Amino acid sequence: MTEETQKPYITIDDVQINIDDLPEEAQGIFGRVQRLTQKRANLALDLEEIQAGINFFTNRIVNIVNGEGEQESAAEEDEAKSEI
């Protein structure tokens, strides 16, 4: 079974045009479009990762504020008992 290598193409007016069939200037522009499309995809992934980091650290702050106050008061009570 042979695998066909799909060449890059652009769709204009519902017609798929192979990059090799484009004029030289259009091929250069097509290359730029491909690079920019890849950059956009990478930026979208970066934004998702950044948002996940923000969510993690925000939740961490909430957990520290909510949980640490209880832990500190329990530790202070233990210290007070041991001093008696």
Domain extents for the chain? Answer: 9-83
pTM for the full model? 0.59
pLDDT in tens, the chain (84 residues): 556 678 888 888 999 899 999 999 999 999 999 999 999 999 999 999 999 999 999 999 999 999 875 665 566 666 666 666
What is the chain's alpha carbon radius of gyration, rounded to the nearest angstrom?
29
Identify the helix (H) or strand (E) that includes residue 49.
helix 24-83
Left (φ > 0), alpha (ψ -120 to 50) or beta: where does 61 sit?
Answer: alpha
